[in-house]
Amino acid sequence: MQTTAENILNVTLLEPRQKHPTIFVRFDELEEGESLTIHNDHDPKPCITSC
């Protein structure tokens, strides 16, 4: 049985301007079958109406 390590990226610790670039780099580094959990402190869906 193969055990997989948790791959968690906590972007709450990053400066706002570094969040998206860091997420995309980590995503691009994933191997086939790997997953990435992103811990964020806000809803990534853009606010279209008044928030």
pLDDT reported for residue 1:
45
The 3-state secondary structure of 3-49 reads CCCCCEEEHHHCCHHHHHHHHHHHHHCCCCCCCCEEECCCCCCCCCC
- Over 90: is that where the pLDDT of 49 sits? no
pLDDT tens per residue, range 17-43: 999 999 999 999 999 999 999 999 877
pLDDT reported for residue 4:
58
Supply the pTM of this predicted model. Answer: 0.70
**CB 36, CB 7: distance < 8 Å:** yes
- The rounded distance, in Å, linking the Cα atoms of 9 and 47 is 23
